[in-house]
């Protein structure tokens, strides 16, 4: 298992989250160490996004606690949280770029909110540098509507790292990117961790990427932590659910459903159906 001697930056204790009657996170406890990369995996809809939104208190738990450097943050007021959130970078699963602002303005946004800008030249340099990191230098004046899905994701990534945060939460940074670009993002994540000692939490479905960047992998399943350990621990995990997930195998239940749904013609529309 993972050594627990590092300094804890983030931790959650007995976190439970419900939406209506649906239990999404069930009594989860977790400690994130400073300077490490933690990857969260798990089937679609299992609550990965919900979990990392709790780490920055974009969502509040029904019960349980969230700590940032030993300070309890889940019960703070929004204006108190704003100061704490400047230590974070958050990449949203859908990018969440401001579509009324250009790419450059999107990246300048967090800087502008927290500093009075004295030299626009420096800011321009910074935008250029951050965009270059994600391979999009030259796109400063584009609007999000004119970018492809993968490009938007990368601009959002550039925005998340614009303030050189201590903690970066990435929600599926490589989804929708081609394999080479995905690997560039992996390298970027590694580089930020190595050079700036950022604490990184990555939600991903991409096992190649997970193995490459992770110091620790956590698998969520049915609202609980099903597996927790380094890459080897996960690869050799005895639990069948974990094995199925990391090898991308369909479970027997899912297969049964597919078999039951009959012949192709029932599941597909044919041109003659519209005549």
Partner 1 sequence: MLAALGARAMVDVTNAGRFGRFVWGAIVASIRSSTRPGTYPLVWTQMLIIGVRSVPVIMITGAFVGMSLAVQAYDQLAGIGLEEHLGVLINISVVKELGPVLAAVMLAGRVGGALTAELGTMNVTEQIDAVRSMGTDPVRYLVAPRVLACLLLTPFLIIYADLMGVVGGAVVSFSQLGINSTAYWSFSASGVELWDVAVGVVKGFFFGASIAVISCYKGFTCREGAHGVGLACTEAFVLSFISILALDFALAVIFKGIYNTFWPFKSLIA
Ligand X SMILES: Nc1ncnc2c1ncn2[C@@H]1O[C@H](COP(=O)(O)OP(=O)(O)OP(=O)(O)O)[C@@H](O)[C@H]1O
Considering the rule CB under 6 A, would residue 248 count as an interface residue with ligand X? no
CA terminus-to-terminus distance, the chain: 62
Segment near ligand X (CB under 6 A), from 39-47, 65-73, 77-85, 120-128? 39-47
Spatial distance between the Cα atoms of 56 and 159, rounded to a whole number of angstroms: 16
**Per-residue binder mask for partner 1 (CB under 8 A), 158-197, x = binder:** -----x----------------------------------
**Per-residue binder mask for ligand X (CB under 6 A), 77-116, x = binder:** ----------------x-----------------------
> Residue 127 or 242: which CB sits closer to partner 1?
127
Site size toward ligand X, by CB under 6 A: 11
Considering the rule CB under 6 A, would residue 247 count as an interface residue with ligand X? no
- Least Å distance, CB 235 to ligand X, is 21
Considering the rule CB under 5 A, would residue 204 count as an interface residue with Mg ion? no
> Residue 100 or 236: which CB sits closer to partner 1?
100
Considering the rule CB under 6 A, would residue 12 count as an interface residue with ligand X? no
Q: Which of 60, 83, 129, 224 binds partner 1 (CB under 8 A)?
A: 83
Segment near ligand X (CB under 6 A), from 44-52, 124-132, 224-232, 253-261? 44-52
Query: In 3D, which of 154, 5, 167 has the Cα closest to residue 84?
Result: 167
> Which residue is associated with the tokens 């380094």?
230
CB 190 within 8 A of CB 130: no
227: exposed, middle or buried (Cβ count in 10 Å: 0-12, 13-18, 19+): buried
Residues that bind ligand X (CB under 6 A): 19, 24, 42, 44-50, 93
Residues that bind partner 1 (CB under 8 A): 53, 56, 58, 78-79, 81-86, 88, 90, 92, 94, 96-100, 109-110, 113-114, 116, 163
Residues that bind Mg ion (CB under 5 A): 49, 93
């Amino acid at each position: 298992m993972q050594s627990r001697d590092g300094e804890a930056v983030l931790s959650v204790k007995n976190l439970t989250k419900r939406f209506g009657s649906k239990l999404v996170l069930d009594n989860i406890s977790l400690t994130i160490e400073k300077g490490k990369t933690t990857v969260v995996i798990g089937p679609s809809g299992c609550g990965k996004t919900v979990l990392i939104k709790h780490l920055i208190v974009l969502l509040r738990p029904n019960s349980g606690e969230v700590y940032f450097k030993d300070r309890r943050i889940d019960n703070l007021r929004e204006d108190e949280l704003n100061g704490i959130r400047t230590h974070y970078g958050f990449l949203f699963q859908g990018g969440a770029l401001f579509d009324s602002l250009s790419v450059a303005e999107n990246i300048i946004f967090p800087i502008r909110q927290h500093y009075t800008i004295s030299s626009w030249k420096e800011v321009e340099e910074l935008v250029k540098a951050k965009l270059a990191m994600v391979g999009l230098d030259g796109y400063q004046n584009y609007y999000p509507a004119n970018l492809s899905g993968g490009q938007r994701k990368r601009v959002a990534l550039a925005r998340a790292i614009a303030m050189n945060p201590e903690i970066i939460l990435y929600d599926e940074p490589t989804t929708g990117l081609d394999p080479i670009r995905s690997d560039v993002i992996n390298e970027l994540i590694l580089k930020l961790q190595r050079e700036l000692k950022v604490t990184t939490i990555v939600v991903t479905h991409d096992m190649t990427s997970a193995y490459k960047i992770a110091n620790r992998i956590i698998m969520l399943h049915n609202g609980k932590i099903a597996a927790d350990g380094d890459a080897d621990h996960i690869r050799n995990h005895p639990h069948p659910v974990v094995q199925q997930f990391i090898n991308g195998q369909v479970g027997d239940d899912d297969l049964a459903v597919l078999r039951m749904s009959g012949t192709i013609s029932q599941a597909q529309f044919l041109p003659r159906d519209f005549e």
